Amino acid sequence: MRHQHRQLDRLGREESRLAPGASEEATAGRRVFAEGRGPVLTDLDGNRYLDFAAGTLTQSLGHTHPEVVQALTAQAGRLWNVHDTSTPDRARLLDTLARLLPEHLDTYALFSTGAEVVEAALRVVQATAPPGRNRIGALRHGFHGKTLGARMLVHWDIGHQSFAGNSVLGYAPYCYRCPLGLEYPSCGIRCASLVRRHIADKPNTSALVFEPVLGAAGVIVPPPGYWEQIADACRANGVLLVADEVLTGGGRTGAFLASELFGVEADLVALSKGMANGFPFAVLAGRHDLLHDPAAATPGAYASTYASNPLGIAAARATLEVIERDRLIEQVGRLGELLGERLRALYGRFENIGQVRGLGLLWGVEFVTDRASRTPSPALARSVYARALDLGLRVALGGHVLRIAPPFTIEEALLDEGVGLLAKAIDGAVAQ
Ligand X SMILES: Cc1ncc(COP(=O)(O)O)c(C=O)c1O
Q: Identify the CA nearest to 54 among candidates 40, 67, 75, 44.
A: 40
Q: Is 251 helix (H, G, I), strand (E, B) or coil?
A: coil
Of 36 and 145, CB closest to ligand X: 145
Instruction: Assess 115 for contact with ligand X (CB under 6 A).
Output: yes
At its nearest, how many Å lie between ligand X and the CB of residue 247? 4
Query: Assign residue 184 a region: left if phi > 0, alpha if psi is -120 to 50, beta otherwise?
Result: beta
- Select the span of 112-120, 164-172, 188-196, 367-375 touching ligand X (CB under 6 A): 112-120
Q: Identify the CA nearest to 242 among candidates 362, 145, 174, 100.
A: 145
At its nearest, how many Å lie between ligand X and the CB of residue 240? 17
- Select the span of 46-54, 138-146, 199-207, 406-414 touching ligand X (CB under 6 A): 138-146
User: Residue of minimal CB distance from ligand X?
Assistant: 114
Q: Is 314 helix (H, G, I), strand (E, B) or coil?
A: helix
Single residue of 113, 259, 304, 377 touching ligand X by CB under 6 A:
113
Q: Is 104 helix (H, G, I), strand (E, B) or coil?
A: coil
At its nearest, how many Å lie between ligand X and the CB of residue 85? 24
At its nearest, how many Å lie between ligand X and the CB of residue 156? 13
Q: Give the pairing type, strands 240-245 and 205-210.
A: parallel
- Select the span of 30-38, 108-116, 217-225, 391-399 touching ligand X (CB under 6 A): 108-116
Sites for ligand X among residues 186-245 (CB under 6 A): 211, 215-216, 244
In angstroms, the CA 338 to CA 145 distance is 31
For 336-339, the CB contacts below 8 A with 24+ separation are 336/254, 336/360, 336/361, 336/362, 338/412, 338/415, 339/363, 339/404, 339/406, 339/415, 339/419
Of 118 and 335, CB closest to ligand X: 118
Of 384 and 396, CB closest to ligand X: 396
At its nearest, how many Å lie between ligand X and the CB of residue 10? 24
Contact between residue 239 and residue 208 where contact means Cβ atoms under 8 Å apart: yes
Contact between residue 191 and residue 226 where contact means Cβ atoms under 8 Å apart: yes
Q: Is 128 helix (H, G, I), strand (E, B) or coil?
A: helix
Query: How big is the CA angle at 368 (ends 31 and 341), to the nearest 5 degrees?
Result: 80
Of 258 and 368, CB closest to ligand X: 258
At its nearest, how many Å lie between ligand X and the CB of residue 396? 10
Sites for ligand X among residues 389-418 (CB under 6 A): none
Contact between residue 232 and residue 199 where contact means Cβ atoms under 8 Å apart: no
Q: Which residues contact 14 (CB under 8 A, 6 or more apart)?
A: none
Q: Is 148 helix (H, G, I), strand (E, B) or coil?
A: helix
Single residue of 90, 140, 144, 196 touching ligand X by CB under 6 A:
144
Sites for ligand X among residues 262-281 (CB under 6 A): 272
Instruction: Assess 87 for contact with ligand X (CB under 6 A).
Output: no
Instruction: Assess 140 for contact with ligand X (CB under 6 A).
Output: no
At its nearest, how many Å lie between ligand X and the CB of residue 282? 7
At its nearest, how many Å lie between ligand X and the CB of residue 145? 3
- Select the span of 7-15, 141-149, 314-322, 380-388 touching ligand X (CB under 6 A): 141-149
Single residue of 108, 111, 143, 226 touching ligand X by CB under 6 A:
143
At its nearest, how many Å lie between ligand X and the CB of residue 103? 24
DSSP 378-415: HHHHHHHHHHHHHHTEE-EEETTEEEE---TT--HHHH
Of 116 and 366, CB closest to ligand X: 116
- Total residues binding ligand X (CB under 6 A): 14
Instruction: Assess 246 for contact with ligand X (CB under 6 A).
Output: yes
Q: In the chain, what are the helix, strand and coil shares in percent, each to the nearest 5?
A: 40, 20, 45
Q: Identify the CA nearest to 270 among candidates 297, 249, 291, 301.
A: 249
In angstroms, the CA 338 to CA 292 distance is 43
Contact between residue 39 and residue 50 where contact means Cβ atoms under 8 Å apart: yes
At its nearest, how many Å lie between ligand X and the CB of residue 373? 29
At its nearest, how many Å lie between ligand X and the CB of residue 392? 25
Of 118 and 419, CB closest to ligand X: 118
Instruction: Assess 247 for contact with ligand X (CB under 6 A).
Output: yes
Of 280 and 406, CB closest to ligand X: 280
Which residues of the chain form contacts with ligand X (CB under 6 A)? 113-115, 118, 143-145, 211, 215-216, 244, 246-247, 272
